Structure 1
Amino acid sequence: MSNELRWYGKILPKELTEIKLVIISDLHYGNPYFSYKHFQRTIDFIKNNKNTYCFLNGDLCESVIKTSKGEIYKQIGSPDDQKKQVVEWLMPIKDSILGTTTGNHEARIYESAGTDITDYIAEKLNIPYRPEGMLYKLAFGDNNNHTKGKPFVFWIYITHGYGGARTKSAKAVKAERASNWIHADLVAMSHDHVVNIAPEVYLMPDNRGTIDGNGFLSGRVSAKRKMLVKTNAFLKWGGYAETGGFPPSDLSTPVINLLTPYSKQWNLYPDSPRQAIKVSV
């Protein structure tokens, strides 16, 4: 089920100046509180907007079994039924799906029976799959740093998430921790059903240098920005969430905009880096 970290990637047309990115996770299809309406709105958004792509980030299926948490007697369909239905729903946007991870709900099936239902979903959709997390290189556009033929490159890391947390800050800090040990322009984490957007700034030395007046080699250090995104769920309030004292899930899907200076949106913002990530919630 697991394998050593290697990055995946996709090179998109050089004519593109911006793209939209969506993270689909935590459907919990099979749970009676699953909101098909909100999920279908997200699918329609991807289908109806050009240059819009997505990742799958786990807990697509409720996957309740006798030895796990959850309401097995209220669950809609078996885990086998659930995975097949999820594939059917995602098939119309399969060419827009960049890759997938798995979630703790799907992991239940693997741990109890050695069957990886996310691998089945990935195979049917013909997308790359890595259970623990996925590092992805997305390249598009042209004239990066005024260099003809040089695309803009965004590094993206997605992982489902882990553990329990009660407060928004405790949930958000998980994405911050993950961002500390991997280089990426965007880190997206799911699992906690609470949307949170937090830009993180770090300092990057320039490899190029000059000899200063004292004869010492010296170079610039630039501030770089990475965007930390906690994603939504498609699960209405009730059931074990209500009895367990958890707040309602945020059902609104964040839209992540990957922008270049040639984007029509570029002048909407006061900052002017070489490329940028903006998130609409």
Structure 2
Amino acid sequence: MLIKPISIKINADKAYLIPIGDVHLGSKNSDLKKLLGYVEWVRNTKYSYVFLMGDIFDVATRESESSPFEQEMGINEAMNTMTNIIKPIRKKIIGCISGNHERRLRKYAGLDLLETWCRTNNITYCEDSCVISFDIRSINYVFFAHHTMGGGQTIGGKLNRVAKLVTVFSGADCYLGGHNHSKALGEDAIYYYNHSTGKVDSKRIMYVDCGSFYAYDNSYAEAAALPPSHTGAPRIRMSGTKKDLHISF
């Protein structure tokens, strides 16, 4: 985690954050057509930003569920391909965290693939988790992002892993998780003491599963009878006129 959060200040009525993860580039199941559509939307939309949620690369090994012999491209080609894909929006990518697929190389060879790729593309690399702060005019929004780990096949089970991030970092308006390839949204309301007013106020907290760009057909997920899910990512709109997060899929 970066001790100093990524901080973005914008003077606008609204801004967007698109958390993109689980692309699994290298796999034949990577939905590049869908990904390119998101890149085009970000390129054409003012005050839109991307945060990369990990598992950008598939990194298949002989011990993994996906086979290296069934990959569409090797790691070097995948890195070059991703560089070309994000080129139109590179300056709009505010940061990146690692996923369990990239950790395979960290475990076996001590190489942090995403750190190398981010350095090449001048993208802030946060390793395992990241705090992101947006100031849209005078309104502040705080996000906490982690790829997450573990199983869970129901929507509730998957979203629970994102909700548990509140025990890692306190005070975020929205918690972002990846890994499970689902798009889902949950929210809580909490009460807190407001030092400025001396009153007890309430705050809304949102939990977001950030989807994937990994197609289901003929994948290891299908072979394991895991539930299918649609590809894509959430779009998070932050208002600059009142404290309001709107999340759409």
TM (norm. structure 2) is: 0.94
Structure 2: where are the runs of 5+ without partners? none
- Say if 1:234 and 1:249, in contact at 8 Å, map to a contact too: no
Answering whether residue 15 of structure 2 is matched by residue 12 of structure 1, we say no
Answering whether residue 243 of structure 2 is matched by residue 275 of structure 1, we say yes
Select the structure of larger CA radius of gyration.
1
2:44: which partner in 1? 48
- Cα displacement (A) at 1:5: 4.5
1:232: which partner in 2? 211
2:144: which partner in 1? 157
- Cα displacement (A) at 1:68: 2.6
- Partners of 1:106 and 1:85 in 2: CA distance: 16
- Partners of 1:181 and 1:111 in 2: CA distance: 23
- Partners of 2:120 and 2:42 in 1: CA distance: 19
Q: Are residues 11 and 194 of structure 1, via their aligned partners in 2, closer, same or farther at CA, if it must alter by over 3 Å?
A: closer
- Partners of 2:152 and 2:25 in 1: CA distance: 22
Aligned residues: 247
- Partners of 1:26 and 1:197 in 2: CA distance: 17
Q: Deviations over 1:7-29 (max 9, x none)?
A: 32234333x12101101100011
Q: Amino acid of the residue matched to residue 239 of structure 1?
A: S
Q: Deviations over 1:226-254 (max 9, x none)?
A: 21100111111122111101122221321
- Partners of 2:84 and 2:26 in 1: CA distance: 14
1:203: which partner in 2? 191
> Out of 232, 243, 249, which is 1:252 matched to?
232
- Say if 2:27 and 2:71, in contact at 8 Å, map to a contact too: yes
> Out of 109, 112, 117, which is 1:113 matched to?
109
Answering whether residue 80 of structure 2 is matched by residue 80 of structure 1, we say no
Q: Amino acid of the residue matched to residue 185 of structure 1?
A: D
> Out of 167, 175, 186, which is 2:154 matched to?
167
SS in 2 for 1:73: helix
Answering whether residue 45 of structure 2 is matched by residue 57 of structure 1, we say no
- CA RMSD, aligned part only? 1.5
Structure 1: where are the runs of 5+ without partners? 142-150, 210-218, 262-273
2:221: which partner in 1? 241
Answering whether residue 170 of structure 2 is matched by residue 190 of structure 1, we say no
TM (norm. structure 1) is: 0.84
Stretches (4+) displaced over 3 A: none
